[in-house]
Amino acid sequence: MAGTRRKRKARTPRNALYAQSGGATAVVNATACGVIEAARAAQGRIGRLYAARDGILGALHEDLIDTSRESAAAVRALRATPGAAFGSCRYKLKGLEADHDKYARLVEVLRAHDIGWFFYNGGNDSADTTLKLSQISARMGYPLAAIGVPKTIDNDLVGTDCCPGFGSAAKYVATSIREAALDVASMASTSTRVFVLEVMGRHAGWLTAACGLAAAHAGDAPHLLLFPELLFDEARFLDRVKRTVERVGYCVIAVSEGLRDAQGAFLAEQGSVDAFGHRQLGGVAPLIAHLVQARLGYKQHWAVADYLQRAARHIASKTDLEQAYALGRAAVRLGLAGRNAVIPVIERVSTRPYRWRIGVARLETVANRERRLPRRFIGADGFNITPACRRYLAPLIEGEAPPPFRDGLPAYVQLRKAPVRRRLRSAFRA
């Protein structure tokens, strides 16, 4: 009708995509919870939040999950559930030129589902992928805010005081080695004299250092810490083991999987690499334990913490849990504020009392860089941690946040993971 005004249709808000990458942690799903709840609170500004099934591979295959189909109770329960609820993967994209078609495919999938925000929850390599996706999107004229979300038990991301996942893994390994030491001490006179625990850490000895928290007083176990930052001196090590056993009757050792020999080679390299190009490691604990038995004649036992250290939600650090959740919410806030190619980080305000806040770092300052344990955190003899290291580590394992239990076991949530209808005709070809 002439003279009448047509009502302008409000523009539908763009959608967002979240993905998990690399090894899981005890609290990575708390970050996912933070992302989902923040996106739901932004209804009207963010449309639907999708999750990529099995990390970046899900995005490449257009295999997406509609998180809006999950109940609020199920989303809340993610805070108490270990693993990567939406699936993760070890799949490394190369440079923009070398893997241009794969990055273009990602943009194609994002465009098909009107994704305006991409939140990638991972470590160093994931930060690099997020950065490159922001770059290729700009080249292709596709508006996208690509936000990294930190996660790694190795605590090796630069630009942040600590990494979500580390505090809980640190709490687990420190608890485990303290408990194992009591067992060894009780039987040392007639049985095992030397116990070796292997923890994760290819290049960075943060988890090895965390084992040192178990020693509350001088002479307590663990008696020796073997860091990847220092080359292994066999003669010095065997001498220290012998003197420890003679003094206290037994010796407890924590060793990083990335321990290197005098020539700088990994002691336990398996001769293969993973999807990120990292050398596959594992088995340094039996090497060390058998060395002790062969050279000193002591009966020994060893253990590998392996997946247990990153999956132990039952003994998670409350501090770690709170930080993981807060970083997920912060990532969404950054995206809504128009930020791109950034990552929220933890900034330590004070140590005593422990206070922290959320900061922001540029992805180019984080991607493909590694923060190793500083020498000032390692004792002068190379076998223990310093008071400065203890002061840094102690707040990160504080507080308990046990999951709900049912029938004597932790009750973890299982999501519906409703699939999103595919819109592209073409399939991804690796």
Catalytic residue list? 154
Q: Which residue blocks in 299-366 are alpha helix, DSSP H?
A: 306-311, 318-336
E strand segments, 156-250: 194-199, 224-226
The C-alpha atoms of residue 13 and residue 115 are separated, in whole angstroms, by 10
Q: At what angle do helices 318-336 and 166-187 cross, to 10 degrees?
A: 170
Distance, C-alpha 340 to centroid of its chain: 22
Q: Are strands 194-199 and 300-304 parallel, antiparallel or unpaired?
A: parallel
Q: Are strands 145-150 and 115-122 parallel, antiparallel or unpaired?
A: parallel
Q: Which residues pair with 345 in a beta bridge?
A: 359
Helical (H) or strand (E) element with 30? helix 28-41
Q: Cβ(156)–Cβ(171) under 8 Å? A: no
The C-alpha atoms of residue 176 and residue 198 are separated, in whole angstroms, by 11
Label residue 145 exposed, middle or buried (CB < 10 Å: 0-12, 13-18, 19+). Answer: buried
Residues 198-212 as b/e (b if ≥16 CB within 10 A, e otherwise) read bbbbbbbbbbbbbbb
The C-alpha atoms of residue 151 and residue 31 are separated, in whole angstroms, by 9
Residue 113: which residues within 8 A CB-CB, separation 6 or more? 15, 17, 50, 64, 420, 423
Report CA dihedral (74, 31, 359, 348) to the nearest 10 degrees: 110
The C-alpha atoms of residue 325 and residue 33 are separated, in whole angstroms, by 7
Helical (H) or strand (E) element with 65? strand 64-66
Q: Are strands 409-410 and 405-406 parallel, antiparallel or unpaired?
A: antiparallel
* SS3 call for 226: strand
- Look up residue 419 and give its two tokens: 């699939």
Q: Cβ(212)–Cβ(240) under 8 Å? A: no
Sequence letter at residue 309:
Q
